[in-house]
Amino acid sequence: MIVGIVKETYPGEQRVALVPGSLTPLAKAGFEIIVESGAGAAAGYGDAAYQQHGARLADRAEVFRTADAIAQVRALGANLEAGVTDLELIRAGQVLVGFADPLSSASAAQQIAARGGVLFAMELVPRITRAQSMDALSSMASIAGYKAVLLAASAAPKIFPMMMTAAGTISPSKVFVMGAGVAGLQAIATARRLGAVVEAYDVRPVVKEQVESLGARFLELPLETSGAQDQGGYAKQLDESVYQKQRELMLKAVAASDVVITTAAIPGRKSPVLVTAEMVAAMAPGSVIVDLAAERGGNCELTRADQTVVEHGVTILGPTNLPATVPLHASQMYARNITTFLLHLAKDGKLTIDTADQITRDTLVARDGEVVHPRVREALGLPADAAETAAS
């Protein structure tokens, strides 16, 4: 079984799917590795390092032509423009593993299926105990939460910690984090390390203990949010009336904050608006908002993806790919996720697709010329029963 690593073609993407150190466990499991020359350069991993770990170098076409499985950070669905050029390189039966955004880019999954490719989407790894080491969304969200605080600290006109100096005492900055998932919790932890006073809110009251364990105050609102999480551990879309009431109640907290970091994202859906233009206007000039949901429309009404917007003296940042800005460690973490996933599929040196296994079943998007994932089929307007037949 040969695993191929290719250079990422999405604009600004500096990560690589596998790092040299991750090749050893794959080799022990019987895998050979072929790497596109320069694939890891932007992340700080040169070709020589891959060769030292037993990989063979080749051009992109040869990697696709030779590899039984291709590991990517962004497969076609998550790289719609540049990724199209790889379609003609995909062979029938070839396994593709990476972020593929299948719930929003279902047509791309259908294109891969038409080529006979077998697509596994890393966004769909279930949040169960034995899949934690494969959970690439959580790995990358942790980095995004950390980096969001650094961006805010850099853009803010205030320092984060309290300082007692000969020139007087400086009060600490107030940071409000919306959403206490992986990104939000890492943002809380990072802001606290920098000395800020942190408050956080999440529609799931069960995360209160986690927020408080990091030294932040949990904002409690009188809202009915019992259906805020699905069985897979991912956030669910709530009724608009809940978001409207939430916005009304949070106005005071937002207005009192020097920095607001929003992290509420719904897989395959537009991000809910949590911060309105009215709330931005209520903030003090010089305040900063970092919107980690910018890629799907943003949690702030005024966010523009990958742009810096200044309204009412408030700076609003809308980064869409923060993990790519720290590619060395982001690649290390993602490589661990990919390696563990490949080893999960490996049986006797071959990749085995066992749909009786929840991890395999939940991540499998396309196989045998068909889109087989029920939610992706639903997005395409296809009947779910055909998916069950194709996956069996």
Band of residue 238 on the pLDDT scale cut at 50, 70, 90: low
- Label the pairing between strands 346-347 and 350-351: antiparallel
The answer to whether residue 388 scores a pLDDT higher than 90 is no
Q: For position 269, what pLDDT does the model report? A: 85
Q: For position 228, what pLDDT does the model report? A: 52
Please identify which of the residues 107, 234, 243, 304 carries the catalytic annotation: 234
What are the structural domains, with CATH classification, of the chain?
Answer: 2-134+326-391 (3.40.50.720), 141-320 (3.40.50.720)
Rounded to whole angstroms, the Cα distance separating 101 from 326 reads 21
Band of residue 389 on the pLDDT scale cut at 50, 70, 90: very low
DSSP result, 67-101? -SEEEEEE-GGGSTTGGGGGGGGPPTT-EEEEE--
Do residues 376 and 112 make contact, with C-beta atoms less than 8 angstroms apart? no
Structure tokens at 117: 């490719």
Do residues 374 and 392 make contact, with C-beta atoms less than 8 angstroms apart? no
Please identify which of the residues 51, 132, 213, 358 carries the catalytic annotation: 132
**Mean pLDDT score of the chain, rounded to an integer?**
93
50 is catalytic: no
Please identify which of the residues 56, 91, 127, 204 carries the catalytic annotation: 127
Burial of 164: CB neighbours in 10 Å, binned 0-12, 13-18, 19+: exposed
Q: How many CB atoms lie within 10 A of CB 286?
A: 13
Q: For position 245, what pLDDT does the model report? A: 75
132 is catalytic: yes
The answer to whether residue 249 scores a pLDDT higher than 90 is no
**Per-residue model confidence as pLDDT tens digits over 324-358:** 999 999 999 999 999 999 999 998 878 999 999 99
Band of residue 267 on the pLDDT scale cut at 50, 70, 90: confident
Q: For position 392, what pLDDT does the model report? A: 44
**Per-residue model confidence as pLDDT tens digits over 83-105:** 999 999 999 999 999 999 999 99
Please identify which of the residues 22, 138, 142, 246 carries the catalytic annotation: 138
3-state class (DSSP) for residue 132:
helix
Q: What is the mean pLDDT of residues 28-42?
A: 97
The answer to whether residue 234 scores a pLDDT higher than 60 is no
The beta strand positions in 194-328, using DSSP E, are: 197-201, 217-218, 259-262, 288-291, 308-311, 314-317
Question: Helices 327-345 and 136-155, interaxial angle, to 10°?
Answer: 170
The answer to whether residue 230 scores a pLDDT higher than 60 is no
Structure tokens at 294: 């910018």
The answer to whether residue 227 scores a pLDDT higher than 90 is no
The answer to whether residue 243 scores a pLDDT higher than 90 is no
Residue 54 region, left (φ>0) first, then alpha (ψ -120 to 50), else beta? left
The answer to whether residue 143 scores a pLDDT higher than 90 is yes
Burial of 349: CB neighbours in 10 Å, binned 0-12, 13-18, 19+: exposed
3-state class (DSSP) for residue 22:
helix
201 is catalytic: no
